[in-house]
Amino acid sequence: MELSEGFGRVMARVLVTAKDTGWARRAAEAACGFGTSLIMCPAECGIDGEVDGTYTPDGRPGIVFMVVQRTLPLLEEQLVSRISQCVLTTPTAACFNAQESDEVLPVGSKVQYFGDKLSTKEERFDRTLWRIPLMGGDFLIEDTFGVVHGESYKLWVMGSEVGALTAARAAAETASKVEGVFLPFPGGISAAGSKVGSVHYSFLKASTNHPYCPTVRDRIESRLPEGIEAVYELVITGLDRQRVEDAMYGAVEAAAANGAARISAGTFAKKVIARRPDLADLLK
């Protein structure tokens, strides 16, 4: 199985702070909504991690999330719309760039139009910010947001119905601990791996990857190994290849330690086997 194909992506990291972690997380989760796959979602999004006041510009607790798209114009559009509709509207929230880069997008300078010419630009926390008046108080947002060209890779975890999900969950939890990495599907796991296009419907961009669907193996030319009852897909997206590879290694090792019957990592499997030859049988 040639899995784990890589995809180039443009991405931004956004820091949301608030009076407490609960409000920051609500803002980040709302901003990440409908962000599982670029097949049909307007962006891929996910939580990167939680930070305390020693990391944030304003000394308040925060959540870092990431937004991914194929092009810079589409990424800018998604940042402006998701921040303005989901973060700006969250009580006590503020929004900062969380990724240093020479390449930036004018996100804050566009969101500030919501202030209807009452927004003010100021230097604070060694950053250029916009202060936007709201009915619930002022909203602070950084003027520009850095952009990086990251990568995204796939991993399949296979086994019994219970075993595959247990292993996939362990893999997703391990991969998500790498800073600058997120897994976009619910819980970091997709039960619906797809193939490009469709056998029968020309209007579909993607459809179920039927050769790997266990419940129809008696109706098709199945490619599944014997005994496999479920296949779960993990999409691991990160700021650079090294972070993604670190997350992939961790995910494979966690899946192997938690009952996976087979793991498919495509060409990446060779790197894993070189590092962990004892996993060669799982990665056939």
Q: Are residues 178 and 141 in the same domain?
A: no
- Residue-wise pLDDT tens digits, 210-228: 999 999 999 999 999 999 9
Give the integer Cα–Cα distance in Å for 109 and 143: 5
What is the C-alpha to C-alpha distance for residues 147 and 143, in angstroms, rounded to an integer? 13
Residue where a domain stops, chosen among 146, 173, 194: 146
Q: What pTM did the predictor assign? A: 0.91
Q: Output phi, psi for 64, to 5 deg.
A: -105, 130
Residue 252 host element (H or E): helix 241-257
Tens of pLDDT along 243-259?
A: 999 999 999 999 999 99
Same domain, 30 and 115: yes
DSSP 8-state symbol, 140: E
| Shared domain check, 97 and 206 | no
- For residues 32 and 49, state if they share a domain: yes
**Does 104 fall in a domain?**
yes
Angle at alpha carbon of residue 152, lines to 163 and 141, rounded to 5°: 115
Cα 133 from chain centre? 31
Q: Which residues contact 26 (CB under 8 A, 6 or more apart)?
A: 90
pLDDT, averaged across the chain: 94
145 Cβ partners below 8 Å, 6+ apart?
12, 14, 79, 97, 99, 104, 105, 107, 108
- Both 162 and 117 in one domain: the answer is no
What is the per-residue pLDDT for 1?
32
Tokens 């056998």 locate to 199
CA distance linking residue 272 with residue 64, whole number of Å: 29
177-204 mean pLDDT: 96
Distance between CA atoms of residues 23 and 29, nearest Å = 10
Structure tokens that stand for 117 in this block: 């010419």
Question: Of the ranges 2-16, 58-72, 147-161, 167-181, which one carries the lowest mean pLDDT score?
Answer: 2-16
